[in-house]
Structure 1
Amino acid sequence: MYRRSLIGLAVALSAGAVLAQSYPNKPVRLVVPFAPGGTTDIIARVMADPLSRALGQPVVVENKSGGGGIVGAAETAKATPDGYALGIATVSTTAANPAINTKTPYNPLTDFTPIINIAATPNIIAVHPSFAAKDYASFLSAVKKAPGQYSFASSGTGGIAHLQMELYKNLSGTFITHIPYRGSGPALNDTVAGQVPIIFDNLPSALAFIKENRLVPIVVAAPERIAALPQVPTFKEVGLEPVNRMAYYGIVGPKGLPKEVVDKINAAVRKSLEDPAVRKRIEDTGAFVVANTPEQFGAQIKAEFETYKRVVEQQKLRLD
């Protein structure tokens, strides 16, 4: 029995090595679990061309939105573990949504193979220019005076924007109605159009609208003030440090992805991020390049999932 197990292990390792030697010999799909226009989509498309060059095969970005990222993430989890079906993993898909949604069709800790965290991004509360408040103190005063009368847009129910805003509401003693969308892009479109007065979003997707004065930044979740927005305080500065959490954007595959393939993809992403032009495109969005190991990214996913499980339990959050 023991000898058969050793033989099986040797065969599996050999198969993984053979796969890695020929990998990739056809296009690689990279699923973005949100609609076009949001930060997840931006990061994926910035990486697609340089990653294609590093791997020697086209990396094709596909948007599979729905369920606050669950639909696209579930597709990656169910894919064949051969390295040709990868997905962009976010805090929403691997931590926040699974923490609040008991019907999530995958386990974020066991159904994916972590490969690399590409970048981390600040999150931000911003308002339409017609909103009376233009700074944090005025914003807090306005929403406190009118509980339930204001609404905020997010990229989807159970996503990081939703849960972080719910945490903010609980800690700040405010009540703002949640309006979920099928991704950051549609949420931004309606907020910029004035159909929703407030948005909680990732900075990279919101920054262009802020620079064009089509959105007004109020408070940001980041280790320190953002160079592009020096007048905007962090959540820590306004006394709400638990809300001061950044998002991540990494690449995962389905469980069982051979280590040799994981290492090859990790190395290709790192090589892509060595290009100053690629790093600049990412950093110009307000994101920070991370480029860590598969083990480090797996530890990040675990820590974030456990954090949001505690948030859900402590704040007694549930899906409607």
Structure 2
Amino acid sequence: MQTKAKTWTPCLLAGWLAVFSATVAAAYPDRPIRLVMPAPPGGTLDALMRTVGKAAGEILGQPLIMDYRPGAAGMLSLQEVAKSQPDGYTLGLALNAMVITPLVQKSGSTLDLSKDIDPISLVASGPMVLFTGPSVQEPDLRSFFDHAKNHQGDIFYGSSGVGGPGHLLTELMARQAGVHWTHVPFKGQNPQLTALLAGDVHLMVTTVSDTVMQYVASRKIKAMAVTTLEESPVVPGVPPLSTVLPGFDYSVWFGMVAAKGTPPALTQRLQLAFAQALQQPEVRASVARLGLVAKSSTQREFADTVAKESALWRRTLKDMNITSE
């Protein structure tokens, strides 16, 4: 007696896959989740994810275990996530630099955050700030830019290196303002802060940190403007660059990612867990103390953020002809 083989129609197959996905999601996670970090322990990103990761882990019922893989502007950690199994048990923290670095470097990783990684959710964002040193006498943003226009090439600015966000953003605002100033690259925020205090450079555009804000509080340097379209709660009372450069709007952002091909049921569960964690008042307060704003998103919103960032720097770098070894 012959038996007929079961025929899997498209509708039947889709239904089976839906049931399977729901079953997998219901059991997930059943063991700790590895969180690959782009920076070493002890810094802002470590503090951010210890706070957010702990809260998300409690919601998921499994802890997020930090795995530190610093180097190459975060690209080493992203590569680790990209080559992991797409099973939801390896996550990564993505940031702006991971979009910029592959576009700037002549050699190195060709990993594309917009195509080769699955987005989960944003977790935080914040402004960059234009700080001026004691060698700048202009009292406000407009008079400072007027002075720069009258002293083309005589204004020096520091950054954390060629092709970094501080360098590119300062050049972007200069082009929009119609000014030319001279770039002095340093290895990190602290050396450029030292140069700013000494009067060796006139300004720097960087993220908020306790160290920098201590010098603002003591009036040794001035927070002249934020790069976001409107004032930021991170540095209240500091005007946005858009008051003199209409439409100027840029934020640093951080978000959770997973390996390409991670089942949607798992990424959706992760997105919901992070969204719930970021609504907790104590989490939001802890993130604010780091100079950031807690911010969740849908997967689509995060993907759109990455795409917008990529389009901005592809266009800008082509115009500037900037590359880095």
Whether the TM-score (by the shorter chain) exceeds 0.5 is yes
Matched, 1:237 2:243: yes
Query: Are residues 37 and 223 of structure 1, via their aligned partners in 2, closer, same or farther at CA, if it must alter by over 3 Å?
Result: farther
Query: Are residues 85 and 5 of structure 1, via their aligned partners in 2, closer, same or farther at CA, if it must alter by over 3 Å?
Result: farther
Query: Are residues 205 and 266 of structure 1, via their aligned partners in 2, closer, same or farther at CA, if it must alter by over 3 Å?
Result: farther
Residue aligning to 1:184:
none
Matched, 1:60 2:65: yes
Q: Distance in 2 between matches of 1:240 and 1:71?
A: 37
Q: Which amino acid aligns with 1:217?
A: A
Deviations 1:24-83 (A, max 9, x none): 233222223234565544432321221221122221234433222222222222222122
Residue aligning to 2:267:
262
**Alpha-carbon shift at residue 109 of structure 1 (Å):** 1.8
Q: Which amino acid aligns with 2:324?
A: L
Residue aligning to 2:285:
280
Aligned ranges 1:1-320 → 2 under 5 Å: 16-35=21-40, 39-93=44-98, 95-101=99-105, 103=107, 104-128=109-133, 130-133=134-137, 135-137=140-142, 139-140=144-145, 141=147, 145=151, 147=153, 150-154=156-160, 157-172=162-177, 173-179=179-185, 181=187, 187-194=188-195, 197=201, 198-203=203-208, 208-209=213-214, 212-213=217-218, 215-227=221-233, 229-239=235-245, 241-242=247-248, 244-320=249-325
Please say which of residues 139-148 and 30-39 is displaced more in the overlay.
139-148
**Alpha-carbon shift at residue 191 of structure 1 (Å):** 3.5
Do the aligned residues in 2 keep the contact of 1:153 with 1:178 (CA within 8 Å)?
A: yes
Unmatched runs of 5 consecutive residues or more in structure 1: 182-186
Q: Distance in 2 between matches of 1:218 and 1:37?
A: 28
Q: Distance in 2 between matches of 1:199 and 1:14?
A: 54
Q: Distance in 1 between matches of 2:62 and 2:149?
A: 51
Q: Which amino acid aligns with 1:43?
A: L
Do the aligned residues in 2 keep the contact of 1:68 with 1:158 (CA within 8 Å)?
A: no
Say which SS state the counterpart of residue 219 (structure 1) adopts.
strand
Larger Rg: 2
Q: Distance in 2 between matches of 1:145 and 1:247?
A: 30
What RMSD, in angstroms, separates the aligned Cα atoms of the two structures?
3.3
**Alpha-carbon shift at residue 272 of structure 1 (Å):** 0.9
Q: Distance in 1 between matches of 2:155 and 2:9?
A: 64
Q: Distance in 2 between matches of 1:153 and 1:143?
A: 21
Q: Which amino acid aligns with 2:113?
A: P
Query: Are residues 97 and 222 of structure 1, via their aligned partners in 2, closer, same or farther at CA, if it must alter by over 3 Å?
Result: same
Tell me the TM-score normalised to structure 2 length: 0.79
Aligned length: 309
Tell me the TM-score normalised to structure 1 length: 0.80
Deviations 1:234-288 (A, max 9, x none): 111122534x211221101110111111011111111212211111222344433
Q: Which amino acid aligns with 2:257?
A: V
- Percent identity, please: 23
Do the aligned residues in 2 keep the contact of 1:127 with 1:191 (CA within 8 Å)?
A: no
Query: Are residues 245 and 215 of structure 1, via their aligned partners in 2, closer, same or farther at CA, if it must alter by over 3 Å?
Result: same
Q: Which amino acid aligns with 2:190?
A: N
Do the aligned residues in 2 keep the contact of 1:144 with 1:175 (CA within 8 Å)?
A: no
Query: Are residues 33 and 205 of structure 1, via their aligned partners in 2, closer, same or farther at CA, if it must alter by over 3 Å?
Result: farther
Unmatched runs of 5 consecutive residues or more in structure 2: 1-6
Q: Which amino acid aligns with 1:191?
A: Q
Do the aligned residues in 1 keep the contact of 2:41 with 2:68 (CA within 8 Å)?
A: yes
Q: Distance in 1 between matches of 2:230 and 2:307?
A: 24
Q: Distance in 2 between matches of 1:23 and 1:287?
A: 30
Query: Are residues 216 and 27 of structure 1, via their aligned partners in 2, closer, same or farther at CA, if it must alter by over 3 Å?
Result: farther
**Alpha-carbon shift at residue 219 of structure 1 (Å):** 1.8
Do the aligned residues in 1 keep the contact of 2:229 with 2:247 (CA within 8 Å)?
A: no
Query: Are residues 125 and 64 of structure 1, via their aligned partners in 2, closer, same or farther at CA, if it must alter by over 3 Å?
Result: farther
Do the aligned residues in 2 keep the contact of 1:120 with 1:290 (CA within 8 Å)?
A: yes
Q: Distance in 1 between matches of 2:21 and 2:130?
A: 45
Q: Distance in 1 between matches of 2:40 and 2:192?
A: 16
